[in-house]
Structure 1
Amino acid sequence: MIYSTALQDHGLPHDPFKAIVTPRPIGWITALSAKGEINLSPYSFFNAVSSRPHIVMFSSEDRKDAVSFIEETGEFTCSLVTKTLAQQMNLTSAPLPRGASEYKHSGLAMAESKFVKPPRVAGSPAALECKLLSIQQLKDLDDRPVPRWMVLGQVVGIFMDDAYVRDGRFDTAAAHPIARCGYADYAEVDHLFSIIRPTGG
């Protein structure tokens, strides 16, 4: 089948877009407001976009507290979501009032960051400490602004739990990170396979 995204004439009970663009890493973003309020929320429109320098992005559907807080203070962290933290991650997506504590609501402990002020999730085996590069409101094909905001940040510090550093590498499979799929579905990374890139000029 093929359908128009403008007409949404697929005849299915749910839009399959997010099930096709999958699995998506989860950016578990911690942001700090100018008043010192902490926001912790998961974003599945998240990924790394550059390795030199390290740059990550996430996109927020509607202008949520994380975007506003990052705009105020210019910093954020991103903690790795693992299978053992999945339920608590889900609780941090609850629509709490502005300034209410998602990490307290979910029973999480937070840990101090080294290079930025927003904390990271203490139980996460890895976290990225980031400084804001830009916030951009997205536009559609007709150049009309849509209620979606993309945040780009440069990674200035990386935390890794030493228990997951083996033979000089971060052991991704041992950490059991999870990724967002379509609908209410998630995927767990518990094993890897390797493919060596071709050589040549």
Structure 2
Amino acid sequence: MLNTSGCAASTSVPLSSRESPPPRRPPAGRSGVGCETEREQTSPRRPTAFEQPISGTQTGVMRTVYSPESAPPRGFYTLLTASVAPRPIAWISSLSADGIRNLAPYSFFTVASGEPPILSVTSLGHKDSWRNIRDTGEFVVNIGTESLMEVMNETSAPLPADVDEFKVAGVRGEASDVVAAPRVAEAPIALECRRHDIVEVGNGTLLLGEVVSVAVDDDVLAEDGLPDFRKLLPPSRLGRLEWGFAPRTQWIARPKG
């Protein structure tokens, strides 16, 4: 039986003899009640938003475009540091050729190689850490915690090279296991390094150090023997004068090829 719209009509059943009928839902993508026509059944599927090329004008997003030649008022460097964030902090301890202890934070820091294990720290300009690593070939990358944030920042002060920065910062130094440079006793992780290479890049210098020993406080270790981020709570550097606290985390499995 057909109704006036040409759709098949259902047989009437008294409500007393069956459950209340579920509310009718219009076909997907359309409003109102009606029949799906032959044209609608055979028409090609529309690409989803993820399958369509999207331009800035289509999304309505307005962007400000900078270049090194047309930088924002505070300069291109500040644009980079506010964009590439958060950045982990290498709290580097080193010894001068005369045995003076130095301590300084560097946020241009990452792993450069897994085998051999090499860390990369960039120094903008030739500072005391650069000089000590060049002269002695050794240093320690200390990983601090949120509770050490203020102290780590204090060690960025441009003090004379003959000043013991451990004493100025009020932190304790303890003997490292392999290298001569001391590690920070209050820092839960210390990665002892020997100079692998020093590479000049623009106004920066890449300090590449091969890790020869890693000391980790038991208090921040997880059951699998690795540092637990939620226990470690390392601070980070952002843009301007901002420092970051450890963010929340999520486990995501990598896709298999």
- 1:123-134 superposed matches below 5 A: 123-134=186-197
1:176 correspondence with 2:239:
no
Q: Distance in 1 between matches of 2:188 and 2:87?
A: 19
Q: 1:73 aligns with which of 109, 114, 136?
A: 136
Partners of 2:248 and 2:232 in 1: how far apart? Answer: 10
CA apart distance, 1:12: 6.1
How far apart, CA to CA, are the structure 2 residues paired with 1:95 and 1:44? 16
Within 5 Å, which residues of 2 pair with 1:51-90? 51-90=114-153
Distance 1:11 1:60 in 2: 24
Equivalence for 1:154: 210
Q: Which runs of 5+ in 1 are unaligned?
A: 140-145
For 1:65 and 1:13, the matched residues in 2 are separated by 25
Question: Comparing both chains, which one has the higher relative contact order based on Cα–Cα distances under 8 Å and sequence gaps of 6 or more?
Answer: 1
2:87 pairs with one of 5, 13, 24: 24
SS at match of 1:34: coil
Deviations 1:66-107 (A, max 9, x none): 011111110100100211001110111111111211111111
Alpha-carbon distance between aligned partners in 1 of 2:108 and 2:211, rounded to the nearest angstrom: 17
SS in 2 for 1:105: helix
Q: Unaligned stretches of 5+ in structure 2?
A: 1-63
Question: Matches of 1:89 and 1:76 in 2, distance apart?
Answer: 17
Q: Give the deviation of 1:13 after TM superposition.
A: 8.1
Secondary structure of the equivalent of 1:150? Answer: strand
Any idea what SS the aligned residue of 2:152 has?
helix
- Percent identical among aligned pairs is 37
1:94-137 deviation line (CA, Å, top 9, x unaligned): 11111211111111111110011101110111110000011111
Deviations 1:31-54 (A, max 9, x none): 111211111100111111112221
Q: Is 2:104 the counterpart of 1:41?
A: yes
In structure 2, distance between residues paired with 1:72 and 1:12: 35
1:77 aligns to what SS in structure 2?
strand
Larger Rg: 2
- Return the TM-score normalized by structure 2: 0.71
Give 1:57's aligned amino acid: S
Q: Secondary structure at the match of 2:69?
A: coil
- Structure 2 distance, partners of 1:190, 1:33, is 36
Classify 1:129/1:102 alpha carbon distance in 2 versus 1 (closer, same or farther; 3 Å): same
Q: Give the distance between the partners of 1:13 and 1:101, measured in 2 at CA.
A: 33
1:6 shift after superposition? 2.5
In 1: Cα distance, 2:138 partner to 2:103 partner: 13
Corresponding position of 1:142: none
Aligned position for 2:166? 103
Which secondary structure does the structure 2 equivalent of 1:16 belong to? helix
Are the equivalent residues in 2 in contact too, given 1:91–1:102 (CA < 8 A)?
no
Q: Tell me if 1:196 matches 2:257.
A: no
Q: What's the CA shift for 1:7?
A: 3.1
